[in-house]
């Protein structure tokens, strides 16, 4: 199993550009989440999904869109990138209940200039 | 709303010394608490969860509801323990895909 994979590993965008961060998992997990990690801020939840076709907002959803058409994939879209979105983005998946571990991807480091 | 506070951004100890990483939380209901660790150039991974009361890599943590704390301890730190440690919370009966993280503590174990 590859676990949780994310692409790209690094990305530089100009302000106003759009892009999609890809996330995939091969563990048949129902639940997937996106977090951003900023220095001195820890990880903050952006969006999450409890199954295909079902998504919801986390703590910092503004400027990001998500969709979940399959169990495996959970892409994160930046429609118009802003410098404030410079961050490291982590995707995670789990079976959902608190007794199960949340598995994290390796992260995507995004810089918006 | 829930909040997780890790009072120390940086913690430095010598190899063989005891280490305690502190975590305080604010939540009106019953929480589920976790410790996650991120070693250099590796992905975030679960270290401890309070419901299982297990010891991983020599670390143990106790939930103190009176003090609303979930500190973790290790009696003899090793150089390979150097990493970023995050405390995280979710409401009991909630789900671990909606974790609230603290800001993290960077532990350095010196030789």
> Measured between CA atoms, how close is A70 to chain B, in angstroms?
17
What does the alpha-carbon distance between residue B41 and residue A23 come to, in Å, rounded to a whole number?
19
Decide if B43 and A45 are in contact by the 8 Å CB cutoff. no
The whole-number pLDDT of residue B41 equals 86
Res B29 pLDDT > 90: no
Rounded-to-integer distance, Cα A80 and Cα A22, Å:
17
> Using omega within 30 degrees of 0 as the cis cutoff, is the peptide bond preceding A8 cis?
yes
User: From CA B94, how far away is CA B57, in angstroms rounded?
Assistant: 27
**In this predicted model, what pLDDT tens digit does every residue of A30-65 receive, in sequence order?**
999 999 999 888 999 999 999 999 999 999 999 999
**Where are any strands of DSSP class E within chain A?**
4-7, 10-13, 19-25, 31-38, 42-51, 54-57, 64-66, 76-78, 87-94, 103-104, 108-112
- pLDDT band at residue B52 using 50, 70 and 90 as cut-offs: confident
Distance, in Å, from the CA atom of B8 to the CA atom of B21, rounded to the nearest integer, reads 8
| B76-B83-B55-B64 Cα dihedral, nearest 10 degrees | 90
List pLDDT tens digits, range B5-20.
999 999 999 999 999 9
Integer-rounded Cα Rg, in Å, for chain A is: 13
Q: Which chain B residue is nearest to residue A104, measuring alpha carbons?
A: B44
Question: Two tokens at B56?
Answer: 């991983």
B85: its two tokens: 């440690």
Residue from the list A45, A98, A106 with its beta carbon closest to the beta carbon of B43 = A106
């Amino acid at each position: 199993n590859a676990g949780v994979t994310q692409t790209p590993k690094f990305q530089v965008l100009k302000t106003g550009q759009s892009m999609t961060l890809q996330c995939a998992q091969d563990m048949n997990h129902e639940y997937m989440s996106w977090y951003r990690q900023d220095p001195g801020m820890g990880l903050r939840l952006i969006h999450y999904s409890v199954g295909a076709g079902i998504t919801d907002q986390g703590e910092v959803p503004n400027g990001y869109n998500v969709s979940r058409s399959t169990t495996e994939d959970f892409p994160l879209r930046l429609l118009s990138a802003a410098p404030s979105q410079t961050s490291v983005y982590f995707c995670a998946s789990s079976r959902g209940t608190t007794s199960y571990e949340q598995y994290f991807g390796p992260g995507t480091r995004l810089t918006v200039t | 709303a829930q909040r997780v506070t890790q009072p120390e951004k940086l913690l430095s100890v010598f190899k063989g010394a005891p280490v305690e990483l502190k975590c305080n939380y604010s939540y009106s209901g019953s929480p589920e608490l976790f410790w996650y660790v991120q070693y250099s150039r590796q992905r975030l991974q679960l270290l401890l969860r309070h419901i299982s009361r297990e010891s991983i890599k020599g670390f143990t943590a106790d939930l103190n509801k009176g003090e609303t704390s979930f500190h973790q301890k290790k009696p003899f730190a090793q150089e390979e323990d150097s990493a970023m440690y995050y405390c995280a919370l979710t409401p009991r009966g909630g789900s671990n895909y909606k974790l609230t993280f603290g800001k993290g503590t960077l532990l350095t174990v010196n030789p």
